[in-house]
Amino acid sequence: MSRADKTMGYYQLSKGGQSGTIADPKCVCQVAIKCCATSIILVNNHPSGNLRTSDVDLPLTRKINETAAMLDLAMLYHPILSSVTFFSFTYEGVL
């Protein structure tokens, strides 16, 4: 996102298999820095429809948020999507 809160683009960082995927905080921030973004929005999906955060979701979200903050990037939002509804780390007070 730009300073004017305009979306600057989209980037698919990772595409997982049936049991997971890898999202490296360094790669997330690298894309934002190359675009001269001031903030980021992460989105991931749970194709199973189960919106409970996995053992990896919460620590990884916090790690990306901390890494971004060190680089003066704000993580604005991080929803987990299913085909029916969503879970929001922001709405749940995690971010």
The answer to whether residues 15 and 47 touch, using CB atoms and an 8 Å cutoff, is no
Percentage above 70 pLDDT, the chain: 96
The answer to whether residue 72 scores a pLDDT higher than 90 is yes
pLDDT recorded at residue 67: 95
Helix (H, G, I), strand (E, B) or coil at 73: coil
Is residue 31 in a domain?
yes
Domain count, the chain: 1
Give the tens place of pLDDT for each residue, 44-66. Answer: 888 878 888 878 888 888 999 99
Is residue 64 in a domain?
yes
Is residue 16 in a domain?
no
* Tally of CA atoms within 13 A in the half-sphere of 74 that contains its CB: 9
State the CATH number of the domain containing residue 34: 3.40.140.10
